[in-house]
Amino acid sequence: MKMTGAQAIVTSLEKEGVELIFGYPGGQVLPLYDALYDCKLRHVLTRHEQGAAHAADGYARATGKVGVCFATSGPGATNLITGIATAYMDSVPMVCITGQVPLSVIGKDSFQEADITGITAPITKHNYLVKNAKDLPRVIKEAFYIARTGRPGPVVIDVPKCLMTTTIDFEYPETVRLRGYKPQAEGKAAEVEAVAQALAEAKKPLFFVGGGVINAEAAPLLRRIVKTHRIPLIGSLMGLGAIPVTDPLFLGMVGMHGTVAANRAVMECDLLVGIGVRFDDRVTGLLTRFAANARVAHFDIDRAEVNKNVVADLAVVGDLRWSLAALESAMADLAGEGGRRWEDWRLQVTRWSEEAPLSYQKSDDVIKPQSVIEEIDRQTKSEAVIVTDVGQHQMWAAQYYRFQRPRSFITSGGLGTMGYGLPAAIGAQMGQPNKSVVLISGDGSFLMNCQELATAVEHRLPLKMAILNNNVLGMVRQWQKLFFNQRYSYTRFANGGTDYVRLAEAFGATGLRAERPEEMPEVIAKALATEGPVVMDIRVCADENVLPMVPAGAPLDQMINGEVK
């Protein structure tokens, strides 16, 4: 079938099952947008290309599908960069299609020309500069395969405008053949059996669960193993939801703002089994003291992660759906015990949880931010999809919302991108239209991409946005307070802050405000009951810190306000 390159792109996306594209048009993608005009694909016009990238990211995390975004050349493409890097750090499958100047003028500093493949090389799983229109179907087929297989990640396809208007004979490939890329779905059974043997010998085993479990859709397998063997476990920020946080065996998030029980368990376990985790610096603290008494086993699909940060005594490389199923089989001989061999250890870590739960000083005078998260949790029955920006509110959401299932917590973990929340929540809401999606943001983060309120209003999304408004850049201020002698350098908004109710109304959304503790529950209830997008301006205490806290570079047992009562 003959068609233009632009039509070939659209047809290829349809064949990949794409339903939704987030994007922003411009000169070099005009033929592509012209092809969109006649097709069934749904396109969401965001108000900034960065919003398009984050929305595609949020859609991918909420659904498990590949997120897709479009941008034009030059500034359009470079505006995607933060979104691409965010997705890369958190292993999110995305395909980003950018326009490029015609082949004949590449390298001549043409209008809106930027070397997007060069710029994105360190932050993509792969990228393409297409030079022949007949390659477009193959490249798109490969891009989706690369993005969703193995360790997921973003792929950029840069398409010169001249290729979009070139006529080709369209034929979509059935298979992908890439000489240098063969994801390892199954590993070695002997490696799994070695971990099972180590678990049988361990007196204090601990599972450490990361976002890889959610990406691999392996949470049901993990839950079965935990239920059978009753081994305590901890989670990374990205792993929240893999196991219900209300499960008595779950000790909470580990690391800089982890629970006392989780951090103590790492320091005292004798076998730490990392499952789909990166062992990043926010988790480990001082590396030489991390799990110093333990052997470390590491399950991951990406061989490059093994021994990158923490040296593993045992490693299993492969898809977690295979490796956890193999572990379950290898531990079959222990199943009849019901985890009795680890009873003393389990009682010990449970006692730690009871002795030092997450807590804060409640108040009748000011709204405590932790209480807002607890109230949202109560009113949504722990069933909402929670999306956050980055900062104190992100950590409080991780600590106080009781996540029950995978893909219910969407946040920028690795890159820590302020401004991520609102567009990502739009993508999540569009991917899960029947779910209650709540954005928890800070006043600093919200302003970075608040223009996407227009997108939420245009599509009448039932998105609820809670801004924990303390009129400061809270997390930076917290570090200044604790580590820079309270020299609060440029972290307070000196103009008195923004009126978020009027901002919401200016975009056509509903705006609500709570200034007193007694007003807050009613405002949340009214927001949840109101149709369409609602912004809640919740004036919270500015002096609150996220605790406990392990100072950067300190071992996990040196927690500020992490004393055991």
Cβ pair 404, 385 in contact under 8 A = no
238 is catalytic: no
Provide the 8-state DSSP code for 334: G
Token digits of residue 322: 């295979």
Instruction: Write out the H or E segment, with its range, that includes residue 507.
Output: helix 500-507
515 is catalytic: no
| Nearest alpha-carbon partner for 339 in 149, 438, 205, 239 | 205
Active-site residue identified among 164, 430, 448, 475: 475
Non-local CB neighbours of 151 within 8 Å, separated by 6+ positions = 91, 125, 183, 212, 215, 301, 302
519 is catalytic: no
Active-site residue identified among 14, 19, 112, 493: 112
| Nearest alpha-carbon partner for 236 in 265, 256, 261, 216 | 256
Phi-psi map region of 315: left, alpha, beta (phi>0 left; psi -120 to 50 alpha)? beta
Non-local CB neighbours of 261 within 8 Å, separated by 6+ positions = 251, 252, 349, 352, 353, 356
Provide the 8-state DSSP code for 461: -
Tokens 């997450």 belong to residue = 358
> What is the rounded CA–CA span in Å between residue 253 and residue 234?
6
Supply the DSSP string of 368-408, one letter for each residue. Answer: -HHHHHHHHHHHTTT-SEEEE-SSHHHHHHHHHS---STTS
| Nearest alpha-carbon partner for 59 in 9, 16, 17, 21 | 21
161 is catalytic: yes
Cβ atoms < 10 Å from Cβ of 228: 17
Active-site residue identified among 1, 111, 197, 563: 111
Token digits of residue 225: 């193993």
| Cα-Cα-Cα-Cα dihedral sign, residues 400, 403, 406, 409 | negative
Active-site residue identified among 125, 141, 161, 204: 161
Active-site residue identified among 49, 268, 328, 544: 49
Phi-psi map region of 146: left, alpha, beta (phi>0 left; psi -120 to 50 alpha)? alpha
> What is the rounded CA–CA span in Å between residue 139 and residue 202?
48
> What is the rounded CA–CA span in Å between residue 447 and residue 495?
14
Cβ atoms < 10 Å from Cβ of 301: 26
Q: How far is CA 440 from CA 218, 248, 409, 472, in A?
A: 27, 26, 11, 16
Cβ pair 123, 85 in contact under 8 A = yes
Residue 84: alpha-carbon gap to chain centroid: 12
49 is catalytic: yes
Rg of the chain over Cα atoms, rounded to whole angstroms, equals 24
Question: Cα 42–6–49 angle (5° rounding)?
Answer: 55
> What is the rounded CA–CA span in Å between residue 14 and residue 12?
5
- Catalytic (active-site) positions: 49, 111-112, 161, 475
